[in-house]
Structure 1
Amino acid sequence: MAGASCPQDVLIAKLETRFPLSESDRDALRGLPCIPRTIPAQSYMLREGTRPTKCCLLLDGFAFRHKLAADGGRQIVGLMIPGDFTDLQHLFLREADHNIQALTRIEVAEFAAEDLRGLALGRPAVAQALWIDTLIEASIAREAILNFGRRNGPMRLAHMLCEFEVRLRQSGLADAGYDLPMTQEQIGDATGMTAVHVNRTLKQLEREGLIVRVKRHLKIADWVGLQQRADFNPLYLHLDQARPAD
């Protein structure tokens, strides 16, 4: 999606990683009105219990979904990178069941949910692309449940790093590593670990020669080794979805 010149182009590029679109579909998407916005780091974009009226496309920066327990404990349930929808489910669900927050300073394009929903209902290829994107999001959530429930701390953290690397590569955002946009506390909220445990585990992965860190910049030094350490299989990301069926 690198090189897209306007929000509608980013939208088209995103959907075409899910399902082929016709030129007529692309023209209809180019005609969708949107509002570009800049949102400061840590700002809430959506709160649980509210009724969303817009659907945001993340253009730059990183955001996350999270749920809060009654005691205030936070569980991060999803990370979003440029090119991702932040709240596609609210095209059809009336009330938000989780929170969405900017992880870094972000740029988004706000599309009216009514506009995008109407386009999807009238254009089967657009609807299929949006549906596939939602299904892949659900697949990522299933993998996260397995990660939390059946993998130990080092495996959970290694798995998160593998997933982040693959998703960034797919979007053209990772070459010789990347700046990890999360604090150790936030990584802990995403992996069910304490910040102290996260710090120790990152150092352990470094000692094993799997990653290299310079401040927040992280580079995977042994991709095969990190995958094995994490029990990582990218099948759940459905990276082949945009290829024609056999």
Structure 2
Amino acid sequence: MTRKLERLGTLNEQDRSALRDLPLTARRTAAGQHLLREGEDSTTCYVLLSGYACRYKTTSAGARQIVSFHMAGDIVDLQHLLLSRADHSIQAMTELTFAATPAAELKKLVQSHPAIAEALWRDTLIDGSVYREWVLNVGRRDAKQRVAHMLCEFAARREKAGLGSPASFELPMTQDDIADATGLTNVHVNRMLALLAAEGLIARDKRHVEIEDWERMCEAADFDPAYLHALAA
């Protein structure tokens, strides 16, 4: 968490010491398990330490829309500093290790350390920028662009988090997850992945993906990483 906040702002030794003193409880959960369900009350914020998670909402009929993917270093549910009721669910997509901290303790930390408050505010603003891009992706891009854009964003964010090269990676999400993130069917996602491979943009072996030509892939995806704000640094 400290490494991420230092990308988002300038922290001094007092700030770092205060972060080290923050009460954190490390937990582990299996893929498919929930950290939080929509409608629950929560007074906890979560820092992801390893693995991948998603946030999602469901319609009254049970249809799921994934609204974001998260990886190591992400601080999810800062909203619980001020809002106690969850308006979405958080689910582990892989085995997940995370640290839980009481929202009240994090709120006290923010109030007494302006640099930490600014870094968390910047993180929230970047989340908003990513959400706007996801709305554009689902609402206005065609099927191939939606899937390609999701892959580009995942690769770029993964690299920034220090998790490896954007050219080659394992997808933590299933085709059902990709479908629920892009507003497509599982069958349509499979066709788009096959099309991207046929066009020489990616090579795929089950969940392993290699991006063969980053510039062409970005062009095909309509992907401009400016909205990520280089995740602040």
- Please report the TM-score for the alignment, with normalisation by the length of structure 2: 0.97
Q: CA deviation at 1:217?
A: 0.7
Q: Does 1:114 align with 2:104?
A: yes
Q: Give, in whole Å, the separation in 2 of the partners of 1:91 and 1:116.
A: 7
2:88 is matched with which residue?
98
1:20 is matched with which residue?
10
Deviations along 1:32-80, one digit per CA (max 9) or x if unpaired, are 1110000111111111111111111000000000000011100000000
Count of equivalent residues: 232
Task: Please list every run of at least 4 consecutive aligned residues from structure 1 whose deviation after the TM superposition is greater than 6 angstroms.
Answer: none
Q: Does 1:153 align with 2:128?
A: no
Distance 1:182 1:205, change over 3 A: same
Residue 65 of structure 2 aligns with an amino acid whose one-letter code is: Q
The answer as to whether partners of 1:91 and 1:116 remain within 8 angstroms in 2 is yes
Q: CA deviation at 1:240?
A: 6.5
Q: CA deviation at 1:174?
A: 2.1
1:212 is matched with which residue?
203
Q: CA deviation at 1:183?
A: 1.0
Residue 180 of structure 1 aligns with an amino acid whose one-letter code is: L
2:157 is matched with which residue?
167
| Match for residue 53 of structure 2 among 55, 63, 83 | 63
2:177 is matched with which residue?
186
The answer as to whether partners of 2:31 and 2:96 remain within 8 angstroms in 1 is yes
The answer as to whether partners of 1:89 and 1:134 remain within 8 angstroms in 2 is no
Q: Give, in whole Å, the separation in 2 of the partners of 1:53 and 1:156.
A: 35
The answer as to whether partners of 2:160 and 2:231 remain within 8 angstroms in 1 is no
Gaps of 5+ in 2: none
The answer as to whether partners of 2:126 and 2:231 remain within 8 angstroms in 1 is no
The answer as to whether partners of 1:45 and 1:102 remain within 8 angstroms in 2 is yes
Q: Give, in whole Å, the separation in 1 of the partners of 2:13 and 2:104.
A: 22
Q: CA deviation at 1:122?
A: 0.9
Gaps of 5+ in 1: 1-10
Residue 86 of structure 2 aligns with an amino acid whose one-letter code is: A
CA RMSD of aligned residues (A): 1.0
The answer as to whether partners of 1:67 and 1:76 remain within 8 angstroms in 2 is yes
Q: Does 1:177 align with 2:165?
A: no
Q: Give, in whole Å, the separation in 2 of the partners of 1:151 and 1:63.
A: 24
| Match for residue 187 of structure 2 among 168, 186, 196 | 196
Residue 17 of structure 2 aligns with an amino acid whose one-letter code is: D
Residue 196 of structure 1 aligns with an amino acid whose one-letter code is: V
